[in-house]
Amino acid sequence: MVNSVLCYGDSNTWGAATVARPDDRYAPDERWPGVMRNVLGDGWLVIEEGLGGRTTVSDDPVEGIWKNGARYLLPCLHSHKPLDVVLIMLGTNDLKARFGKSAWEVARGAGTLAHLVKTAEEIGRAGRQPKIVLIAPPPFRDKLPLHADLFAGAIAKSKDFAKQYRAVAEEEGVEFFDAGSVMKSSKVDGFHFDTDAHVALGKALGKVVARLAKA
């Protein structure tokens, strides 16, 4: 049997590169889902569902309603079922100034996604519910060299992510992971991931997924 894990996220799951790469995207084995796949080894299917600009539950008036993570989540779950583990790491794009959200509101949006997975019917293996991990994105760097206006006010809010996401995960009864506990955002733009961050995150989440699979 092959176990399956879905990685549902934004450009940091897609692999937006902070250094020169073809199409500005890290190679499959450089991205954290690919690192995690190598950690898990044979017997695992790692499904990458990253989209640049994806929010938790908000239609984007600039980039389009299709950036709303809640709109695509259920079709995505059913497209890839049966699923053993679902990892959700979204919220960074919710801090764009045009949304005007607090860290509490962003975390609640992420919690809504976790709840959608919990209540989705027939997406787990043999009638079981997949294990769910709600991941708090790491804090922004203290400087945003490229997108300061786009993310005005985001730095301070991002530092409250771990606390707020943990509380939501506990309420929903799902696993919590703080990405900022193992890596930092890039100095290049303040919120994307360098290759070493992808490695650290992929290795850490590989251990989490392996543990949940045995539970």
Say what the pLDDT of residue 188 is: 98
Residue ranges of domains in the chain: 3-214
**Entry pTM:** 0.98
The tens-digit pLDDT sequence of the chain (215 residues) is 899 999 999 999 999 999 999 999 999 999 999 999 999 999 999 999 999 999 999 999 999 999 999 999 999 999 999 999 999 999 999 999 999 999 999 999 999 999 999 999 999 998 899 999 999 999 999 999 999 999 999 999 999 999 999 999 999 999 999 999 999 999 999 999 999 999 999 999 999 999 999 88
* Contacts (Cβ under 8 Å, ≥6 apart) of 51: 9, 10, 11, 14, 67, 69, 72
Q: How far is CA 215 from CA 21, 43, 117, in A?
A: 38, 17, 19
Please give the CATH number for the structural domain made up of 3-214. 3.40.50.1110
Q: How far is CA 193 from CA 111, 140, 156, 187, in A?
A: 23, 10, 19, 9
Cα–Cα dist 211/18, whole Å: 31
Question: In this structure, what token pair is assigned to residue 140?
Answer: 């922004």
Say what the pLDDT of residue 62 is: 98
Say what the pLDDT of residue 214 is: 85
Say what the pLDDT of residue 195 is: 98
